[in-house]
Structure 1
Amino acid sequence: MQIFATLGFAVLYSTLVLYATKRLGFSEAQANTMMGVFGAFNYGLHLFGGYLGGRYLSNRNLFVLGMILQIIGCWILSGQSAEGLYWGLAMFLTGSGLNVTCINMMLTQRFTPDDNRRESAFLWNYAGMNLGFFIGFTGAGYFQIGEHYQALFLFATLGNIVAITITLLRWRMLADINTPLLHVNRSQFRQRMLAGLAILVILVPIIRLLLTHADFTGSFVLVVGAAIFLLLAFITLRHRPRDEQRRMTAYLMLAVGALVFWTLYQLAPMGLMLFTEYNIMRHVYGIQISPQWIQNINTLVIVFGGPLLAVGFRNLRERGWRIDIPLQFASSLFCIGLGMLVLPLGIMFAGADGMVAFKWIVISYILQSIAELLISPVGYAMIGKLAPARYQGVMMGGWMMVTGVASVLSGYVSGMMPENSGSSPALTNPGYSHIFSLLGWGSAATGLILLMLMPLLRKLISTSR
């Protein structure tokens, strides 16, 4: 399910900036803002998806409905018009934003709180998701070379159709476990289902409206993200028993570190995509490399590295090594910081025309991918470990909301990068080098702070079930 459910999102994630600038005539600044809002809605709605799935529609119902909305959205996008862009994205984002939490909740509910297989399961699940990214990026790059966008968006729907089919074939296996919806009577169940469907219908025009006011929407997402963080902090302060309160405190502290990581990581489809398009030599061994194909470096590292990391961590822990969540988070920040810092080094060795050798973007993506492996699947898995049962859906959604806020921040950072239109790599390289250096050293500093807080974090988490 995860492999095929990811395909459509991979196509839009890797193509939206190029599609908006090359086919629809958007400026780079407008495209970056649009991409920031795209990510914000996709990830920000995950919070609401946990609530809507757990209390109104059920996780498996909402997952299927989300897939259907994505199919309709891609079909509208295939019309290749600015108006179709807004309505298509509204449909797609309503679906993708709400149903990702559902599949993570369906997976985490398969395990008891003290089941050590949860981390391995999420690493395998994460590898499957990135295999879907590989298929989506590869197809997107193929169609991008000829700018066949209509065929590209129709191709994106295939994964959603397969994901729906698999879900229906395994319907009983995917039933919700211990969610609030299961504790209501039959009449209340029907009322909640109708209310949930009405919410889906209302969300589409609301998101479409917000997409046309991207600057306001970005600020709105930041305010909502801050409000949700404060709400979770308030809930944590009032929560009892104490051991659960300590675990929730650790969750909030780690969320701040994750915000820094995801802000850097979400540059890939925005400022880093444009840097790759205009400043990287992509003619390698006689082959013209599509920008989407470069993102498959990340995918391959995840697909092969995820299972290897699960096995390696298990073996090291059996030998007495203490590899835990705080250490992995700090290490990921150092790693992605280094991924940013190699780019100024590559710019330093650029040719007279300013074009940067292909190897530098490869090294950067490898380091970013290793960082992702250290933080992202472990972040999902830790929800079942740190969150009380009644808050699991909201805290899973809150964790994904961090990525949505980071996407908006990435849009702002990308806006600080040089404008490529009407310029040259030799002129834009100094600006890129400055921004990448600031990001790299900032991430390393955040990682150092987490290392200093590691004894406290371990003490808070050690009370876990």
Structure 2
Amino acid sequence: MASSLTKDSVRPGTPGSEKTFFGHPRGLATLFMTEMWERFSFYGMRALLVLYLVAPAAKGGLGFAAATGAAIYSVYNATVYLLAMPGGWIGDRLWGPRKTVAVAGTIIMIGHFLLAVPVQACFFVGLVFIAVGSGLLKANISTMVGHLYPDRNDARRDGAFTVFYMGINLGAFVAPLLIGWVADVTNWHFGFALAGVGMALGLGQYLLGTRHLSPISSQVPQPVDAAERAALLKKAGLWAAAAAVFYGVVVATGSFTIDWVLWPLSLMGLALPAFYFTRMRRDKELTADDKSKITGYVWFFVVAAVFWMIYDQSGSTLNLFANDHTANKLWGFHFPASWFQSLNPLFVMALAPVIATLWIKLGHRNPSTTVKFALGLVGIGVSFGVMMLAMGAASGDAKVTPLWLCAVYLIQTVAELCLSPVGLSVTTKLAPQKYASQMMGLWFLAVTAGDCLAALTQLVVGDSFLSTTSFAIQGVIAALGGLGFLAYRKKVIKLMGDVH
């Protein structure tokens, strides 16, 4: 596929005339295809995950309660983003981005094939493999896109990330349709296996195409010295031993349940961002202006965490609603519930250029970052207001029209496009020089914090999390939070100093 989109150089040796991919370096095709297949495997598996967890054993599932299945999904998703920080560190300090992505793809592929084994222990080990591999890959593959353009002022640089972003959404769009259909007509494990095949294809073409990547991607920017490596191994060993002893005691006493994993991970996902922010605020090397900007950024982080708490329930709460309360028939056509997971990437591909053009057309009237964040949070709250109405319409055994979920995903996509792209931008602007990379990691931790909030909510309220009351409360909290942030924005802008 990639080769059909490339063009040979007509002037060998002339910069910019080498074999290209839509006018970009040939290495972008390698990274585009790798990311597309990785997202194919990830989103295809994700579309099945909560449905498989709650399906009764008679239907081939694991038979968890709906709340527990949703919490497992939320914690799993949180862990993927949590591991992006150590994944970036490994690329920077141990292996270099190119090797790290190769190892990541292998781990992800093994994880998906473990899910295909009809043994519960293999399933959960497979989830760990996919989470670890995704964390390794996420932080490093985007870095290699940047490596293709050594000149930071290269006009093709921004366009490259747009093309790369389309690969993400293309894989995310196709995966639920194909993998969901395979699981529906055969069984869950064939669906998980197909996700593994997708990652295998991505890994294979990555290994074949690495010669087109920048030589910089093979380098380790800041190698760990022997003393630091020994200290890290010692700390990791102590933590691993402590965890092994603790869980050994829990298992030996017959007390172990899945909650012993879900609760600690959820609380850790909330504690880590607080720890990082506190450490940075107390750094005596930072100026008063740096600390003020970090304080301002905390507000953006909190808004983002609440946003992702609701948004990321698309694969859990909304997926369960699609399966249990939504008619899987539209205009005479029957389809699996997992197909709804393709709506968001479809809407993103359709609306992202429109929203980006709108911001440009508005010129000096373009809303500030604080206003866009507020709009995103209000929008995600409105989406759960619509879900409240949909849940009310699905009372008893009635199944509602699929158009309810179509409307919800459309609203959520518009809200995402208001908040997510500018979140990356404001992170880079407010980060002190000393913490430039770590602040980007903190942005990903906002997703972790949001998913952990969702998991804790699901564990506390039980199966009533899928109710009109739950949708209403979460929607009102988000909408009021967005309005509150809008009202407070002048104080936040003041904390931001010279950043606008």
Q: TM-score w.r.t. structure 1 length?
A: 0.83
Q: CA deviation at 1:10?
A: 0.4
Pick aligned residue for 2:294 from 239, 244, 248: 248
Residue 50 of structure 2 is matched in structure 1 by 17
1:72 maps to 2:105: no
Q: Deviations over 1:134-173 (max 9, x none)?
A: 1211122212322433332222124433443554425564
Q: CA deviation at 1:385?
A: 2.8
Distance 2:141 2:444 in 1: 13
Distance 2:426 2:161 in 1: 10
Residue 439 of structure 2 is matched in structure 1 by 395
Equivalent pairs, count:
445
Distance 1:416 1:111 in 2: 50
Once the two structures are superposed, the pairs formed by residues 373-452 of structure 1 within 5 Å of their partners are 373-415=417-459, 419=463, 432-452=467-487
Q: CA deviation at 1:284?
A: 1.3
Opposite residue 449 of structure 1, the aligned amino acid is G
Structure 1 residues 381 and 373, CA gap change in structure 2 (3 angstroms):
same
Q: Is the CA contact (8 Å cut-off) linking 1:4 and 1:160 kept in structure 2?
A: yes
Residue 422 of structure 1 is matched in structure 2 by none
Distance 1:336 1:123 in 2: 24
Pick which of 41-50 and 113-122 moved more: 113-122
Distance 1:175 1:308 in 2: 36
Instruction: Give secondary structure in 1 for the equivalent of 2:467.
Output: helix
Pick aligned residue for 1:338 from 369, 382, 391: 382
Q: CA deviation at 1:277?
A: 0.9
1:454 maps to 2:496: no
Once the two structures are superposed, the pairs formed by residues 278-297 of structure 1 within 5 Å of their partners are 278-297=324-343
Instruction: Give secondary structure in 1 for the equivalent of 2:364.
Output: coil
Q: Is the CA contact (8 Å cut-off) linking 2:428 and 2:439 kept in structure 1?
A: no
Q: Is the CA contact (8 Å cut-off) linking 1:77 and 1:84 kept in structure 2?
A: yes
Q: Is the CA contact (8 Å cut-off) linking 1:233 and 1:252 kept in structure 2?
A: no
Distance 1:213 1:402 in 2: 27
Q: Deviations over 1:197-256 (max 9, x none)?
A: x989x99xx89x89x854233332323532432332331342524444343333222111
1:230 maps to 2:267: no
Structure 1 residues 290 and 451, CA gap change in structure 2 (3 angstroms):
same
Distance 2:289 2:152 in 1: 14
Structure 1 residues not aligned, in runs of 5+ = 420-427
Q: TM-score w.r.t. structure 2 length?
A: 0.78
Q: Is the CA contact (8 Å cut-off) linking 2:100 and 2:140 kept in structure 1?
A: yes
Once the two structures are superposed, the pairs formed by residues 347-358 of structure 1 within 5 Å of their partners are 347-350=391-394, 353-358=397-402
Kindly name which structure, 1 or 2, has the bigger radius of gyration based on alpha carbons.
2
Q: CA deviation at 1:61?
A: 2.3
Pick which of 9-18 and 104-113 moved more: 104-113
Distance 2:388 2:488 in 1: 30
Residue 25 of structure 2 is matched in structure 1 by none
Structure 2 residues not aligned, in runs of 5+ = 1-30, 249-255
Residue 8 of structure 1 is matched in structure 2 by 41
Structure 1 residues 351 and 274, CA gap change in structure 2 (3 angstroms):
closer
Instruction: Give secondary structure in 2 for the equivalent of 1:80.
Output: coil
Pick aligned residue for 1:133 from 165, 172, 184: 172
Q: CA deviation at 1:261?
A: 0.5
Residue 498 of structure 2 is matched in structure 1 by 463
Q: Is the CA contact (8 Å cut-off) linking 2:430 and 2:496 kept in structure 1?
A: yes
Structure 1 residues 439 and 241, CA gap change in structure 2 (3 angstroms):
same
Structure 1 residues 77 and 381, CA gap change in structure 2 (3 angstroms):
same
Residue 195 of structure 2 is matched in structure 1 by 156
Select the structure with the greater relative contact order (CA < 8 A; seq sep ≥ 6): 1
Residue 423 of structure 1 is matched in structure 2 by none
